[in-house]
């Protein structure tokens, strides 16, 4: 099995990117978060953690920028009813650290807002993974997220706003903002971007 690949980003598509390793182009499936990071790196060298998924009719490579992200993906595969494509879809719906917070906090409602995750699957994920996660730290883009930021994010997602819109809004907040102000300003800013 392939553990990692190192090469040049050749092309990025909707659900995968091509990594040129010594003249061979590997098709690597990845989450929307990873693809967004990789998109700006076309032509640059990159080392990618790989999970090889072999089926009778397919040989697929799933790529991750960090080892903890790969480990989280593997943990999701242990959940009854979650296959590799669904695990990738789940990881595309929000930052991995945010998804892990929801699992640890038993927030089935927030989890069920992720792509392809219904209430039953959300509860199954919590039951299977709570307390067993290898934590992925938030990338330090912008200010350090506080507990208040996490509460504001959770509140806005529970109100039906898209995860990526909420994430962008949260990164723009002052670190000293209160929960009430954060939610109120979020409602004003995000209205019109609702699901």
From first CA to last CA, the distance across the chain in angstroms is 40
Average pLDDT, the chain: 84
Residue 138: both structure tokens together: 């938030």
Q: How far apart are CA 93 and CA 146, in angstroms?
A: 21
Cα angle 17-77-73, degrees, rounded to a multiple of 5: 45
Bigger pLDDT: 95 vs 73: 73
Residue 40 has pLDDT above 70, yes or no: yes
Which fold is adopted by the domain 147-190? Helicase, Ruva Protein; domain 3 (1.10.8)
**pLDDT tens-digit readout, 28-39:** 999 988 888 888
Q: Are 46 and 19 in contact (CB under 8 A)?
A: yes
* Residue 182, both tokens: 């954060």
Closest CA to 100 of 48, 53, 40, 145: 145
Return the percentage of the chain with pLDDT > 70, whole number: 92
> Residue 142's pLDDT is what?
42
Nearby residues of 79 by Cβ (< 8 Å), 6 or more positions away: 121, 124, 125, 128, 129
Task: Tell me the percentage of the chain whose pLDDT exceeds 90.
Answer: 27
CATH number of 68-129: 1.10.150.20
Q: Determine the Cα angle at 115 with ends 135 and 25, to 5°.
A: 75
Is the confidence at residue 71, as pLDDT, over 60? yes
pTM flag (> 0.75): no
Per-domain boundaries in the chain: 4-64, 68-129, 147-190
Using DSSP's 3-state secondary structure scheme, residue 64 falls into: strand
Domain 4-64 has CATH 3.10.20.740: no
Angstrom distance (rounded) from CA 23 to CA 21: 5
CA distance 69 to 102: 16
User: In this predicted structure, what is the pLDDT of residue 146?
Assistant: 72
Mean pLDDT for the stretch of residues 154-158: 83
């Amino acid at each position: 099995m392939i553990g990692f690949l190192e090469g040049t980003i050749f092309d990025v598509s909707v659900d995968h990117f091509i990594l040129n390793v010594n003249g061979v182009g590997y098709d690597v499936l990845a989450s929307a978060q990873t693809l967004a990071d990789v998109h700006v790196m076309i032509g640059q060298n990159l080392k990618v953690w790989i999970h090889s998924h072999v089926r009778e009719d397919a040989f697929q490579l799933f790529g991750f920028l960090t080892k903890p992200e790969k480990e989280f993906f593997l943990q999701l595969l242990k959940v009854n009813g979650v296959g590799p494509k669904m695990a990738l879809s789940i990881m595309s719906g929000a930052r991995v650290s945010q998804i892990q917070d929801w699992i640890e906090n038993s927030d089935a409602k927030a989890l069920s807002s992720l792509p392809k995750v219904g209430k039953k699957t959300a509860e199954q994920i919590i039951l299977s993974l709570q307390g067993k996660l290898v934590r992925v730290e938030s990338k330090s883009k912008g200010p350090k997220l506080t507990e208040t930021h996490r509460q504001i994010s959770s509140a806005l997602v529970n109100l039906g706003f898209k995860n990526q819109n909420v994430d962008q809004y949260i990164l723009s907040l002052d670190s000293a903002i209160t929960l009430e102000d954060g939610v109120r300003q979020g409602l004003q800013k995000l209205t019109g971007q609702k699901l």
